[in-house]
Structure 1
Amino acid sequence: MIRKRVVVHGRVQGVFFRQECLRRARVHGVGGWVRNRLDGTVEAVFEGGRENVEAMVAWARHGPPSAHVDLVETFEEPVEGVAGFEVRYDRS
C-alpha cells in the first residue's frame, strides 16, 4: 500500500476533472479524495496498491479530454487506511 497526494495545475477546473477522477479511482480500487482549490488547481489523494496509485498519478498528468494539465506536483505521504473515494467540496 502507498499513498500519494497530487496538485494538478492548468485548466483543470470546469472540465469534469473531479468526476472523471472519481470514476477512474473506483475502477482502480483506489481510496482517497479529490477537490478543487481556490487557486484554480485540483488536489487529490490516492491510496492503494502501488500499480493502481501510479495509474491514477499517470492519469492526472493529462486528466479528462477537456483539461490542459501544465504541471502535477506529487507528494508521498504515510498510508492512512482510507476506504472508498470521494469528491470533496471544501476548498482551500
Structure 2
Amino acid sequence: MPVVARHLSICGKVQGVSYRDWTLDTATELGLAGWVRNRMDGSVEAFVQGEPAVIDAFVMHAHEGPPAARVARIETEDAAFDADITGFDRRTTV
C-alpha cells in the first residue's frame, strides 16, 4: 500500500480541550507519522502520513476529537511525503 501525506487544518473549539494530546494518541495508535500544533488563530494544524485508508479513518475520528472539543470543520489537502518524519510529535504554536 502506498504511503501518502495530508495537511489538516482543524477549526472550532479545538484549543484548551486536549485536542493535541488526543491527536497524538490517536495518530500513534493508528500507526501514522507526523505532527500537530496549535495556531495563533485558534485552529489546530496537523501533518499526517501513512496508508490512505488509515489517514481517512483518522480524519473521520478527528471530526469528533476529545469530549470537550467542538470541531466546526476540517480542511485537508494532499502534501508531500517527508521521509525524515518518523513517529508523531507535538510542535510549538505558530
TM-score between the two structures when normalised by the length of structure 1? 0.93
Give, in angstroms, the shift of residue 26 of structure 1.
Answer: 0.8
**Of residues 61, 64, 67 in structure 1, which corresponds to 2:66?**
64
Q: Deviations over 1:45-85 (max 9, x none)?
A: 11011121111111222211110011111010111122100
Identity %: 37
**Of residues 52, 73, 76 in structure 1, which corresponds to 2:75?**
73
* 1:41 partnered with 2:43: yes
Of 73-82 and 23-32, deviating more is: 73-82
Count of aligned pairs: 91
SS state of the match for residue 25, structure 1? helix
Give, in angstroms, the shift of residue 33 of structure 1.
Answer: 0.3
Report if the CA contact (8 A) 1:17-1:67 is conserved.
Answer: yes
> Which consecutive unaligned segments of at least 5 residues does structure 1 have?
none
Report if the CA contact (8 A) 1:46-1:56 is conserved.
Answer: no
Match of residue 88 from structure 2: 85
* 1:55 partnered with 2:54: no
SS state of the match for residue 58, structure 2? helix
Amino acid of the structure 1 residue aligned with 2:8:
V
Amino acid of the structure 1 residue aligned with 2:38:
N
SS state of the match for residue 33, structure 1? strand
Deviation >3 Å, runs of 4+: none
**RMSD between aligned residues:** 0.9
